[in-house]
């Protein structure tokens, strides 16, 4: 066996190009989360459904030749795709017992229901984040007092509080927003408080305290942004609850006043003639169910997308 001489080897050194090569593209947390959300087909389908329903609720009442209170008693309780012999316009969802166009009333009701839900959830977000952030950051006796207040509010069924407020305050869309927001912020406050208490012991928060940062700056600049992903998921899951609450209150007659329309009012009107004209109940029921299901599935998709542990 021949001996291999040292001179036969050549030192090539380290490959600087390969050593500095980035194996995956540089991306931010939110960009990576949105990329993973786009890979979730059920969540993306639900997002498009929500956008589609929102666009119909915005534009159909504006572009429709009928209004929500316009009555044509000569052709009441007509079936779907009925064409008016007088003006030639089609009633896509038919007409109700007063001859009003159900298609226009459905999407006008969607506008009211979505407005109430989004407004109430937004107010809950503001109150809950501020209340929970202060309680979690200060801790001690302040936290105990603030949490006891939340427990007192949670000790009374929120529907009873909402119903009592709706009976005292004059009915209307803003009244429902105020009634729901008066009791719906406690869950958000608890969630934010728990996140703040787990984050306020982190090194970057301690460093900010040592550098003289005020509590308001620490909460707003360092703590709340790190709870934003969980808060967004909770907001997405809270919207279906607000939609159901509005529909329930409108169904029992404590919702928006006549002649305004909402999905709950349409369901109430349709339940009276369900045996003869089932479509008048099925249409608002499908709208409520489809919207709630879409928000729930989108919330599940956001929860998976915003979880750093699931990043590959």
85 or 192, which is more confident?
192
Taking only the tens place, the pLDDT of each residue in 150-175 is 888 888 777 777 777 777 777 777 88
CA atoms within 13 A on the CB side of 79: 1
Instruction: Evaluate whether 57 touches 111 at the Cβ level (below 8 Å).
Output: yes
Q: What is the pLDDT of residues 37-64, one digit of tens each?
A: 888 888 899 999 999 999 999 998 888 8
Judge whether residue 198 has pLDDT over 70.
yes
Percent of the chain with pLDDT over 90: 4
Would you state the structure tokens that stand for residue 88, as one six-digit string? 């030639």
Q: Is 60 exceeded by the pLDDT of residue 311? A: no
The rounded radius of gyration (Å) of the Cα atoms in the chain is: 28
Which pLDDT score, from 0 to 100, does residue 45 have? 92
Q: How many CA atoms lie within 13 A of 217 on its CB side?
A: 10
Q: Record the tokens describing residue 198, joined without a space.
A: 């787990």
The whole-angstrom separation of Cα 298 and Cα 237 is: 8
pTM for the model stands at 0.79
Question: What pLDDT band is residue 16 in, cutting at 50, 70 and 90?
Answer: low
pLDDT recorded at residue 21 = 62
- Please tell me which residue, 42 or 255, carries the higher pLDDT value: 42
Q: Domains plus CATH for the chain?
A: 31-67+75-310 (1.10.3720.10)
* Other Cβ atoms closer than 10 A to 112: 25
Cβ atoms of 133 and 196 closer than 8 Å? yes
Residue-wise pLDDT for 107-128, tens only, equals 988 888 888 888 888 888 888 8
Summary mean pLDDT of the chain? 81
CA 223 to CA 209: how far, in whole Å?
Answer: 12
Question: 33 Cβ partners below 8 Å, 6+ apart?
Answer: 229, 305, 306
Whether 100 and 94 have beta carbons less than 8 Å apart is answered as no
What b/e sequence results for 49-70 when a residue is b if at least 16 CB atoms lie within 10 Å of its CB, and e otherwise?
bbeebeebbeebbeebebebee
């Amino acid at each position: 066996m021949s001996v291999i001489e040292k001179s036969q080897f050549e030192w090539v050194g380290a490959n600087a190009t390969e050593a500095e090569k980035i194996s995956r593209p540089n991306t931010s947390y939110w960009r990576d989360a949105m990329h993973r959300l786009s890979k979730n087909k059920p969540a993306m389908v639900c997002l498009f459904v929500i956008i589609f329903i929102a666009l119909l609720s915005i534009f159909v009442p504006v572009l429709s030749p009928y209004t929500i209170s316009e009555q044509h008693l000569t052709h009441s309780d007509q079936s779907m795709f009925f064409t008016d012999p007088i003006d030639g316009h089609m009633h896509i969802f038919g007409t109700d017992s007063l001859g009003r166009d159900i298609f226009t009333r459905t999407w006008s009701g969607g506008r009211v229901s979505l407005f109430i839900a989004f407004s109430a959830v937004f107010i809950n977000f503001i109150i809950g984040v501020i209340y929970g952030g202060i309680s979690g950051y200060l801790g001690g006796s302040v936290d105990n007092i603030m949490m006891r207040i939340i427990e007192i509010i949670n000790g009374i069924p929120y529907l009873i509080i909402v119903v009592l407020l709706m009976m005292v305050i004059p009915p209307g869309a803003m009244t429902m927003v105020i009634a729901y927001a008066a009791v719906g912020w406690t869950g958000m406050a608890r969630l934010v408080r728990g996140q703040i208490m787990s984050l306020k012991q982190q090194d970057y928060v301690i460093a900010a305290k040592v550098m003289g940062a005020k509590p308001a700056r620490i909460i707003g600049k360092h703590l709340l942004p790190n709870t934003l992903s969980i808060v967004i998921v909770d907001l997405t899951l809270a919207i279906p609850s607000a939609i159901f609450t509005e529909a329930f209150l409108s169904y029992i007659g404590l919702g928006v006043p006549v002649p305004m329309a909402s999905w709950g009012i349409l369901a109430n009107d349709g339940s009276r003639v369900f045996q003869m004209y089932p479509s008048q109940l099925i249409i608002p029921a499908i709208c409520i169910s489809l919207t709630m299901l879409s928000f729930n599935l989108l919330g599940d998709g956001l929860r998976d997308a915003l979880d750093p542990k699931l990043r590959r």
